[in-house]
Amino acid sequence: MSVKNEQPELAFFDRIKRFAGNLSETSVFAAWFIAITLTGALFWGCSAGLRDSITIRTVNRFLTGIGESRRIESAVSTWNVPGRVTQIGTWYTMTSAELAVIFPLVTDGIFSPYLAIIDSDGRLGTLVPLTANGDKILPRTNPGYLQIWIDRIEKNAAILEQSQDERDRRRMQ
């Protein structure tokens, strides 16, 4: 009888040892995954200025190539904007004191970035495709889908304009 009592105890301790071994392997993998994620997040956050300047330079070169006189000037931060600004793209100010947003449009599985320039009255003025596929994709896009994007862009532009006006009034006081 004493032999049968010792075997369940040994089996229990064997299971504990296996669990501890698996736990240490899992914790090493979890620590590695967390370190990679934090390093990537830190790099992404610290490179925001560089990414914005590369985007501005590339889009301005493209605008020069198509004969557009307006240029993108600087990125607009939506970090502390009161209101519900949806993240649909990256907002920029233009040399003509207009707002612009670069946003992606996916039609039939084809990704194409567009530059939407907002007129001074807050409406979408110009929609510039930033790739060679953009001219081909836009006519095939569902008009209802495109109208949803236009409505979102115009709503966000109004919120950003109001926020910029409030910032300018605070600076003047």
Q: What is the pLDDT of residues 30-88, one digit of tens each?
A: 899 999 999 999 999 899 889 999 999 999 999 999 898 899 998 887 776 766 767 78
Query: Which tens digit of pLDDT belongs to each residue from 89-140?
Result: 888 989 888 899 999 988 888 889 999 999 888 899 889 999 888 888 888 8
Cβ of 102: how many Cβ atoms within 10 Å?
A: 20
pTM for the model? 0.73
Using CA atoms, how far residue 33 sits from 18, 40, 85, in Å, is 23, 11, 32
Question: Two tokens at 78?
Answer: 């939506």
